[in-house]
Amino acid sequence: MILNLTTEELSTRIKYDCRTIRERLKDSVLLEEGFAMGNIRARSDNGKWFFDFRFQGKRCREQTTLDNNTANTRKLKKILEQIEAEITLGSFEYAKYFPNSPMAAKFVSPARELPSTGDTPLFKDFAETWLAEMRIQWRDSHYNTMCHTFKKHLNPAFGDRAVSCITKVDILNFRSSLANVPYRNNGGLSATRINHILTPLRMLEAADRYDFITPYRRIKSLKIPKTDVQPFTLDEVKLILATVRSDFKD
């Protein structure tokens, strides 16, 4: 994610894009008309920074978790410069910077708007082929689990779509929807379970036989909360040993 780049990496990218922009602007009407620059602003209620810029004629505001201080100001200004540079070059991808934003689905890059399916199969057909190829490497129990995951979750979401038409935004939206799936005791699916459901999507990496870039690249697994371990106290251990059946002591 762009927010994770170091200041030096951002500076290098910005310098390159600015040189490219200057070359393109030599004969561009942008020199005459100008273009609206964005800004970073701090919320009045909590002081957190947010981006405020325009893209495709719409105002976009994206919240960050960074506090209002000199270091964060410098970093976010460089990120904003990079965003503006990519918008000018026509290479800006909203989901690359803000993958969890509801706005990401509204802004599809021209390359993705009408993706070329080429000879790529439907997701459900490729899944069937992939499962057959992998079965020899798996235990029956794991194979059955994978089949269940495809049948219950993945095929209903992606089954009738060509493999090359599935985007990173699609996968992120699907992951978000899993958080709303009811589970035991009216609770939702755990981060661990969601990660397991998404794991088979890595099979798209095996689809490079169809010569396209997998959308699963750089999608990180959800963080799994630490288990609250509460071991027996010494008194509880003594009580167990004193009351357990003798055959359990061996």
The CATH number assigned to the domain holding 220 equals 1.10.150.130
Q: Where in the sequence is the domain holding 122, given as residue range(s)?
A: 115-250
pLDDT for residue 183 = 67
DSSP for 94-159, please give it. HHHH-TT-GGGGG---HHHHS---TTPPBHHHHHHHHHHHHGGGS-HHHHHHHHHHIIIIIHHHHT
User: Quick check: 172 and 100 in contact, CB under 8 A?
Assistant: yes
The answer to whether residues 85 and 127 belong to one domain is no
Least-confidence region, from 9-18, 20-29, 54-63 = 20-29
- Stretch 138-159: mean pLDDT: 90
Q: Is 70 exceeded by the pLDDT of residue 240?
A: yes
80 in a domain, yes or no?
yes
Pick from 68, 103, 138: which residue ends a domain?
Answer: 103
Q: How many domains does the chain have?
A: 2
Of 65, 82, 103, the last residue of a domain is: 103
Q: Which residues contact 66 (CB under 8 A, 6 or more apart)?
A: 48, 49, 72, 75, 76
Burial 59-77 (b: 16+ CB within 10 A, else e): ebebebebeeeeebeebbe
User: Do 60 and 141 lie in a common domain?
Assistant: no
pLDDT at residue 148 in the model = 92
Residues 49-95: tens digit of each pLDDT: 999 998 887 889 999 988 888 888 888 888 888 888 777 666 788 88
Task: Look at residue 38 and tell me whether its pLDDT is greater than 60.
Answer: yes
Which pLDDT value is given to residue 6? 56
Q: Which pLDDT score is estimated for 150?
A: 92
Tell me whether residue 109 is in a domain.
Answer: no
Of 75, 103, 131, the residue that ends a domain is 103
Q: 169 with 55, same domain? A: no
Distance CA 163, CA 119 (A): 10
